[in-house]
Amino acid sequence: MKKLKLVSAFMAILMAFTLLYSCKEEGTNPTLTDTELIAAIQAASKANIDANELPGSAVNVVTNDFAESFVANAQVAASLGFQVTLIRERGSRVGESESAFFDITGRELNAGDSTRRQRRDGRGHKRRGPQQRDCFDFVFPISLTVPDGTVFILDSLGAFSQVRDWYQANPDNRERPDFVFPLDISFGGEIMTINNMEELQDARGLCQEDRSRGKCFELVYPITVIMPDASEIILNSREDRRQIRAWYEENPDAEDKPTVVFPIEITYEDGTSVTINSEEELKAAKEGC
């Protein structure tokens, strides 16, 4: 009987050790790719935590790569990792939300491309690297509606702290705030009225021309483009490009790109004007930037 008790005790210790080792292996998730681990975190039951409870390396990423945003919600999925929801509080992308994911040690998880940092904003769009600079400013006051229907009237970007305080007081609400339209933005020294979210997204899309090394000259308007059905659209400003988008929405089966009618003029930052006679010359000018 004594021998039987010793064997039982030994088996209990062995099972406990096996369970402990299994849990350790589960915590490291050595067989999951970053993409799979992100999906597992999204699907798992999660508990809200304070942003200060994140591992130090995760706090460093949030602080440096998301300097324009505040943490609206931080959650932990046991043995898997963390999901952090951030909302932009400065610049032209005020109010946009996105999520960052970290494994249980605080290493940032990258979906798809493991060699370059790649994230997605609240609408699924890819965004690489630290948050990108702006090309327009909001004309205050602007109004934002948070998920419970409360409307905040902001007279400056600094007033966005009211929205941040609301999210910190309501950690279960991760939906981004909504703009109250119409609103005005200052774009290239001109005031534009934005009537809906689609127009605001169009304005943000134009910022692509101003980023990184990309912009060293301006197109001189008007510019004529020919659509796939041979119709012409005359652009009197870059905001008119939404006419092209509208054409494709009305012609969803069209696959060909519009073509620019050359020659066109471009003006460099030093005031020099150059005539561009073909798509190849325009490409060369962009590469020259």
Q: What pLDDT, on the 0 to 100 scale, is given for residue 115?
A: 33
pTM above 0.75, yes or no: no
The whole-number pLDDT of residue 270 equals 72
**Gap between the Cα atoms of 16 and 18, Å rounded:** 5
More confident residue, 289 or 243: 243
Two structure tokens written together for 134: 């702006």
On the question of pLDDT at 134 being above 80, the answer is: no
Q: Where are the domains of the chain?
A: 2-128, 213-289
Instruction: Kindly report, residue by residue over 149-172, the tens digit of the pLDDT.
Output: 999 999 987 888 899 899 989 988
- Please determine, for residue 253, whether its predicted confidence score (pLDDT) is greater than 50: yes
- What is the mean predicted confidence (pLDDT) over 192-197? 90
Residue 255 has pLDDT above 70, yes or no: yes
What is the residue-wise DSSP string for 124-179? S-EEESSPPPPSEEEES-EEEE-TTS-EEEESSGGGGHHHHHHHHH-TT--SPPEE
Pairing mode, strands 142-145 and 151-154 = antiparallel
Provide the CA 113 distance to its chain's centre, in angstroms.
16
- Separation of alpha carbons 49 and 229, rounded Å: 55
Rounded Cα gap, residues 275 and 268, in angstroms: 11
The DSSP 8-state label assigned to residue 231 in this structure reads -
- Compute the average pLDDT of residues 41-48: 95
Q: Do you know the residue count of the chain?
A: 289
- Residue 114 pLDDT exceeds 50: no
Cα(122)–Cα(28) distance, integer angstroms: 28
Give the percent of the chain with pLDDT over 90: 37
Tokens of residue 276, six digits = 């561009």
Beta bridge partners, 193, equal 184
Overall average pLDDT of the 99-112 stretch? 90
